Amino acid sequence: MKDLLATSIRYQQGTLEVLDQHQLPHREIWLPCASTDAMIGMIQRLQIRGAPLIGIGASLLLAHLAEQEASADQLRTDAERLRAARPTAVNLMNCIDRMLAALDAGGPAALPGCAEQLFEEDVELCERMATLGAELVGDGSRLLTHCNTGSLATAGVGTAIGVIDIAHRQGKRLHVYVDETRPLLQGGRLTAWEMARLGVPHTLICDNMAAMLMAQGKVDAILVGSDRIAANGDFANKVGTYSLAVNAHYHKVSFYVVAPYTTVDRHCPDGSAIPIEQRSASEVQGVSGSFGEVSWAPAEAPVYNPAFDVTPAELVTGWILDTGVYNREQIAGGVLKTLG
């Protein structure tokens, strides 16, 4: 397999490495990944994260194992284990399906080429959706985003942050409010890091400050990513997104979801059918990262910790995909069922 390089994953000279997102923003540490157990652990610990990127990472790992002469039967077993690593992110399932189709058609030797194609396709998808989304961003816009949706979450420029990146490169004056994103602080740790790298003016806020900013007229549009979009336009994203959408609807602030066509699940009729991953209580009882670990709640305190929530389509202003920008009427007309 040829060398493939991205912000948070790289394949060079036969070695697959992942940027440990647990260590950001203070340390940039690359971890080797040479086994299915290692990749599953990194996915579940969110050392590699973002719906598009975990699909790419799983595909590169399978291709690497194929080059290490793993059998077709072993690769199928590994693929199914990887598929189950994150139940909400449909990009992972889509990538695994394409790798398995390549395996069935051409045997293990076909996997490196398929993984290369998936990687390069994601770069192209990001560029297309970011360019389309940037057309909706006016000069002087004040934007708000949630979680992390940039080059740390994809092989390319990102989804929602990709839009911001392209608009900034076009010379538009922007200011971005970054939700810290509880409970894993992916906005505070990762998005603020990416904004600084891109040179985009930004302000970090707690999640529960967003409504106040909207009430003060300081937010022109909200851009978020997605882990799965149902056929009717409902979508799952990092928990807290639904609250943003409700507040945006009340305050008449434009609310956009940005994702590649690989995030659309045509077989999922609506948001009620999207599986929602439940995560460890420790993520709510405290926090951990490159700064160490802090616990602030009683160890015996009952915890509810869904990783995602579902935003209904009626709260969305527009869906920015690599195939186009769609409004509610188009979504209600079934356009998402035609993608892919």
227 tagged catalytic = yes
Return the CATH fold of 4-125: Four Helix Bundle (Hemerythrin (Met), subunit A) (1.20.120)
Q: Are 103 and 75 in contact (CB under 8 A)?
A: yes
Whole-number Å distance between alpha carbons of 229 and 226: 7
Q: What is the CATH number of domain 131-338?
A: 3.40.50.10470
Q: How many CB atoms lie within 10 A of CB 284?
A: 17
Q: Are 307 and 239 in contact (CB under 8 A)?
A: yes
Q: Are 28 and 19 in contact (CB under 8 A)?
A: yes
DSSP state of 8: S
Strand 308-311 and strand 235-238: the pairing is antiparallel
165, 179, 227, 234: the catalytic one is: 227
Q: How many CB atoms lie within 10 A of CB 13?
A: 5
- Where do the CATH 3.40.50.10470 domains begin and end in the chain? 131-338
H or E, element range at 265: strand 264-265
Q: What is the pLDDT along the chain (340 residues), one digit of tens a residue?
A: 999 999 999 999 999 999 999 899 999 999 999 999 999 999 999 999 999 999 999 999 999 999 999 999 999 999 999 999 988 889 999 999 999 999 999 999 999 999 999 999 999 999 999 999 999 999 999 999 999 999 999 999 999 999 999 999 999 999 999 999 998 899 999 999 999 999 999 999 999 999 999 999 999 999 999 999 999 999 999 999 999 999 999 999 999 999 999 999 999 999 999 999 999 998 899 877 666 788 889 989 999 999 999 999 999 999 999 999 999 999 999 999 988 6
Structure tokens at 167: 């608009």
- Beta-bridge mates of residue 11: 4, 16
Helix-, strand-, coil-residue percentages of the chain, each rounded to 5: 45, 20, 35
